[in-house]
Structure 1
Amino acid sequence: MSRLTIPAREDAPATSQPMLDAVEKQLGVVPNLFRLVGTSPAALEGYLGLNAALARTLDAKTRERIALAIAQANGCDYCLSAHSYLGLNLARIDEVEIALNRAGHSGDARADAAVVFARKVLEARGKVSDADLAAVRLAGFTEAQVIEIVATVALNVLTNYINNVAETDIDFPVVLADAA
């Protein structure tokens, strides 16, 4: 059971309601994470705004691959469950690729550079080496995309930490970080 209250959809603050409506329109449901974050309209607005902005720049597969790598590294079962489901069903990433992503890699060379870099950003708390930066550039990522990869890491750390603090009830097929 979640350590923080996950309000029923209708009990969310009025300011969060239109944002939760947009989530429901996009996903068909309002997952527990969004209802939980929606207890703070400011946090929900910030999360959704950055998520939407990054969705316009990095493709869905890259974002899901990074999310899986970061969730695994942070031991976030909720995010690992959600992004495994989203990776399979929305981004169309196969199970072999998801396993590689969880291990901080990809079967695609360019995607591997992004996922490896994202994990290094997380592990080094942003203090990556010149060689780390050179590797992601060599794979064809622009400086703007490097910033977007870092922002994707930060966005996923945010949700990982919220879910780890709350022990959010998982409302996706359960995938456990310690089962890797």
Structure 2
Amino acid sequence: MKTNLKINFEVPNREQMSVDNLPTYDTIVKSVGFMPNLFATLGLSDNGLKRYISFQNEKSSLSNKEKEAINLVVSEVNECDYCRAAHTAIGKMNGFTDEQALELRSGQVSFDSKLNALVKLSQNIVHTRGKVTSQYLELFFNEGYNQGHLVDVILQIGEKTMTNYLHNITQIPIDFPEVANI
């Protein structure tokens, strides 16, 4: 059931952040060079930005490249224009080409069998709401992943789903180079 209710969300600036979010806000600006609109929007919650970034920055058994592969396919499944754009740009910083980012988003990776297993499983988890098809688990484990990796994949999917939903609801402006739909 969709609603026709339209609420206009404004991206908050630094002065509109709670004191608890300010250190995180300043750290992001210092490291990235600007405050991405989606992160700023997390700051609408008194603890939202700090809480999300803390979760995002925790250690994982997955490499940054693997996390970006998950971010791309999950953002595609969840139809999040902001995260597709952001993670295509971040994916490039982690060594993916535009063509590879498109493959990752599609869930069909020809250039790396291990990433193919990872994105197929991730895509299936999101599509089935965790009632995964055994063939994707088998493919994942056959590529050398273990049960600990599986837990980290689920955590990464959850982390990305949060920002996908936030943008899909708020529709705040995209401040990364936009990418084509596939």
Whether TM exceeds 0.5 here: the answer is yes
Q: How far apart are the structure 2 equivalents of 1:14 and 1:50?
A: 19
2:62 to 38, 58, 65: 58
In the TM superposition, residue 126 of structure 1 has moved relative to its aligned partner by: 0.6
Identity %: 27
In the TM superposition, residue 50 of structure 1 has moved relative to its aligned partner by: 1.8
Contact 1:16/1:39 (CA < 8 Å) preserved in 2? no
Contact 1:3/1:165 (CA < 8 Å) preserved in 2? no
The answer for the alignment partner of 1:79 in structure 2 is: 83
Would you say 1:103 and 2:106 are equivalent positions? yes
Contact 2:17/2:43 (CA < 8 Å) preserved in 1? yes
Q: What amino acid is aligned across from residue 32 of structure 1 in structure 2?
A: N
The answer for the alignment partner of 2:3 in structure 1 is: none
Deviates further, 5-14 or 101-110:
5-14
Greater relative contact order (Cα 8 A, min sep 6): structure 1 or 2?
1
The answer for the alignment partner of 1:35 in structure 2 is: 40
Structure of higher CA gyration radius: 2
The answer for the alignment partner of 2:150 in structure 1 is: 146
The answer for the alignment partner of 2:54 in structure 1 is: 49
What's the TM-score, normalizing by structure 1? 0.91
Q: What amino acid is aligned across from residue 161 of structure 1 in structure 2?
A: Y
Q: Residue 84 of structure 1 aligns to a residue in which SS?
A: helix
Contact 2:17/2:46 (CA < 8 Å) preserved in 1? no
2:130 to 126, 133, 136: 126
How many residues of Structure 1 are paired with residues of Structure 2 in the alignment? 175
The answer for the alignment partner of 1:162 in structure 2 is: 166
In the TM superposition, residue 95 of structure 1 has moved relative to its aligned partner by: 1.3
In the TM superposition, residue 15 of structure 1 has moved relative to its aligned partner by: 1.1
Q: How far apart are the structure 2 equivalents of 1:139 and 1:41?
A: 42
The answer for the alignment partner of 2:116 in structure 1 is: 112
* Gap regions ≥5 residues in structure 2: 1-6
Q: Which runs of 4+ in 1 moved over 6 A?
A: none
What are the superposed Cα offsets for residues 110-130 of structure 1, whole Å, 9 maximum, x if unpaired? Answer: 011111110011001011133
What's the TM-score, normalizing by structure 2? 0.90
Q: How far apart are the structure 2 equivalents of 1:3 and 1:139?
A: 45
- Give the structure with the higher percent helix: 1
Q: How far apart are the structure 2 equivalents of 1:147 and 1:32?
A: 29
Q: How far apart are the structure 2 equivalents of 1:8 and 1:140?
A: 44
In the TM superposition, residue 45 of structure 1 has moved relative to its aligned partner by: 2.7
Q: What amino acid is aligned across from residue 110 of structure 1 in structure 2?
A: K
Q: How far apart are the structure 1 equivalents of 2:56 and 2:46?
A: 15
* Gap regions ≥5 residues in structure 1: none
The answer for the alignment partner of 1:7 in structure 2 is: 12
